[in-house]
Amino acid sequence: MRYMIFGESHGPAIGVVLEGIPAGLELNLEEVQRELSRRKPGQDGISTARREEDKVQVLSGVFEGRTTGAPLAMVITNSDRRSGDYEALRYTPRPSHGDYAGFIKSKGNLDYRGGGHFSGRLTAPLTAAGAVAKQLLAERGIWVGAHISSIYGVFDAAMENAQALKTVAGKPFPVLDDAKGEEMRQAILQAKSEGDSVGGAIECAVVGMPAGLGGPDFGCNVEGIFAQHLFAVPAVKGVDFGAGAALALMRGSEANDPYAVQDGAVVTKTNHAGGINGGITNGMPVTFEATLRPTPSIALPQESVDLRSGEEVEIAIKGRHDPCVVPRAVPVIEAAAALAACQVLGL
């Protein structure tokens, strides 16, 4: 299974093609649409939303409701394409946005309107692809869950057990502890009111992965496969498995996960390794935390450079923008994890 995502924020449509998808899956399109709704901006009362229906259309790969094994193409039309005053940003890159790097890569042919191909809007087809992947995983008894683990220093309750994530998926603000979620919301609104943005982190678990998949080597190790999928999500700057960064502070006797036998199966009593040893799944949930940087588009003035004149200039982003993408990124991270899990399974 491979995929290609295409489209720009202000082009006619965005979409994805999934190649190598197993035949015979009864595709639940409502479920795909539901995942897209979770990702949609504006519903949490935080971001001023672009009005988009985000209705996915299947162009190929499904016949009489089932996948045929041929490439599955899904397209979402961009209906709200007001280009606004993006022109002002054409030659003055926003700090820490893809503008400058993209300008160089495209040799000056960057679609700068709304972030172009770098837009967070491109996470919609990724979410749709992930929703299909989730259905393939479900057939094999595997599911993916996630929660916001922190926003701007406000931490959600610890995930004692991956099962707890099952209740999170339906929440408009996907946390384990709703009181903490409310604190996070306030932190976001505070930043917004100051023309600023905040970052955060998402913790995710893939539950039901069989033991023995992957390998220690480049190209096949499970951490590497997951990381490659996760870093393709805009805003992700760090990926840490199991206990993650805390492992640097631990002794082996604390970090090691003791083996035990449960219902005849070998399990570990803790899961600091995040379900992966030596690059191979060990049968425990594959868990990781992804760090997301704050949205680079902010209303506060910032230092930039005019790429034509080479002069230093100041910019400030007007109009709608999103003070925190972390809540809406939860289904996107799940999608990337689901696609990674499919690759690990050899689907």
- Ranges within 6-25 binding its own copies (CB under 8 A): 6-8, 11-15, 17, 19-20, 23-24
| Residue from 191, 286, 335, 344 binding its own copies (CB under 8 A) | 191
Q: DSSP letter at 77?
A: E
The CA distance from 287 to 165, in Å, is 12
If one asks whether residue 346 binds its own copies (CB under 8 A), the answer comes out as: yes
* Per-position b or e across 300-319, b if 16+ CB within 10 A of its CB: eebebbebeeeeeeebebee
Q: Which of residues 120-179 bind its own copies (CB under 8 A)?
A: 122, 150-153
Axis crossing angle, helix 29-39 with helix 326-345, rounded to the nearest 10: 140
The count of residues interacting with its own copies (CB under 8 A) is 144
| Residue from 268, 286, 328, 333 binding its own copies (CB under 8 A) | 268
Q: Which of residues 316-345 bind its own copies (CB under 8 A)?
A: none
| Residue from 85, 160, 170, 253 binding its own copies (CB under 8 A) | 253
Greatest Cα-to-Cα distance within the chain, rounded to the nearest angstrom = 70
| Residue from 36, 72, 133, 168 binding its own copies (CB under 8 A) | 72
Rounded alpha-carbon distances, angstroms, from residue 294 to 30, 186, 199: 31, 15, 4
| Residue from 145, 199, 327, 331 binding its own copies (CB under 8 A) | 199
φ/ψ region of 307 (left if φ > 0, alpha if ψ in -120 to 50, else beta) reads: alpha
φ/ψ region of 288 (left if φ > 0, alpha if ψ in -120 to 50, else beta) reads: beta
Q: Which is nearer to its own copies, 167 or 286 (CB)?
A: 286
Q: Which of residues 278-317 bind its own copies (CB under 8 A)?
A: 278-283, 291-298, 300, 302-305, 307, 310-312
What's the residue count for the chain? 347
If one asks whether residue 260 binds its own copies (CB under 8 A), the answer comes out as: yes
If one asks whether residue 239 binds its own copies (CB under 8 A), the answer comes out as: yes
Q: Which is nearer to its own copies, 170 or 310 (CB)?
A: 310
Least distance to its own copies, CB of residue 97, Å: 6
Least distance to its own copies, CB of residue 340, Å: 10
Instruction: Annotate each residue in 93-122 with x if it binds its own copies (CB under 8 A) or - if it does not, as one string.
Output: xxxxxxxxxx-xxxxxxxx----xxx---x
Which residues, including other chains, have CB under 8 Å from residue 302's CB and lie 6 or more apart?
94, 95, 314, 315, 316
Token duo for residue 175: 């946390």
Token duo for residue 278: 């030596």
* Part in contact with its own copies (CB under 8 A); list of ranges 29-37, 90-98, 167-175, 178-186: 90-98
